Amino acid sequence: MEKADYQNSPPDDIIEHILRTHHIFVKTKLPEIYNLLKKNSVSDDVHSEIDKILSIFEDLKYELEMHLIKEEKMLFPYISRMAECERNNQIIEPAPFGTVQNPITVMETEHKNALFAFAKIRKITNNYKGISGTNDVIYKELEAFEKDLNEHIHIENDVLHPKAIELEQKIKHKLFNN
């Protein structure tokens, strides 16, 4: 799916793109980067760049793993179900979380937390340039991960989430006006 197609694509197509592109990338790269950091950690020097990054990344890794589970098991299936019901002119069962805005608010807060963690990593690494040049591979991996994360978050926050909220409103309006 081309970037320009996001606005004109149905929510379930956007979700499929996110799952196949960004979620797979995150699930692959989180352990790879974590293992690189662990391997290069100087455990007796908690002040080293890598150890500082590792500390941030460990928390980020856990948060992102939980975040993906919440999206894949709760939010995305509900958005897809709303899209299906709207296409088929069906009534959707109430969400266990009230309105779709509730999990979206949680997801967007978690997105901000992830971006904040990467801002701290960027500061430690001097925008992925480092000081010595010995951590170039790690820094390139972190930079690529942050780039993908920014695109991933943009698609969700700026395209998918507004579409889901609008879709829920359409479905509710149709339900109450029939």
* pLDDT value for 91: 82
* pLDDT value for 6: 81
In this predicted structure, the answer to whether residue 42 has a pLDDT above a threshold of 80 is no
In terms of Cβ atoms closer than 10 Å to its own Cβ (0-12, 13-18, 19+), residue 121 is: buried
Contact partners, residue 25, CB within 8 Å, separation at least 6? 148, 152
Q: How far apart are the first and last CA of the chain?
A: 36
In this predicted structure, the answer to whether residue 47 has a pLDDT above a threshold of 60 is no
* pLDDT value for 49: 86
C-alpha neighbours within 13 Å on the C-beta side of residue 72 = 14
How much is the mean pLDDT over the chain? 90
Contact partners, residue 177, CB within 8 Å, separation at least 6? none
* pLDDT value for 174: 65
Instruction: Rounding to the nearest 10 degrees, give the CA dihedral for residues 105, 111, 115, 118.
Output: 140
In this predicted structure, the answer to whether residue 44 has a pLDDT above a threshold of 70 is no
pTM of the predicted model, to two decimals?
0.90
* pLDDT value for 134: 67
* pLDDT value for 158: 96
Nearest to 155 by CA among 45, 1, 43, 37: 1
Q: CB–CB of 14/163 below 8 Å?
A: yes
Q: How many CB atoms lie within 10 A of CB 138?
A: 22
Mean pLDDT value across residues 157-169: 95
List, for residues 85-128, the tens digit of each pLDDT value. Answer: 999 988 888 888 999 999 999 999 999 999 999 999 999 999 99
Nearest to 49 by CA among 153, 142, 160: 142
Contact partners, residue 99, CB within 8 Å, separation at least 6? 168
* pLDDT value for 113: 98
Give the separation between CA 76 and CA 160, rounded to whole angstroms.
Answer: 10
In this predicted structure, the answer to whether residue 129 has a pLDDT above a threshold of 60 is yes
- The better pLDDT of the pair 136, 30 is held by 30
Give the separation between CA 66 and CA 108, rounded to whole angstroms.
Answer: 14
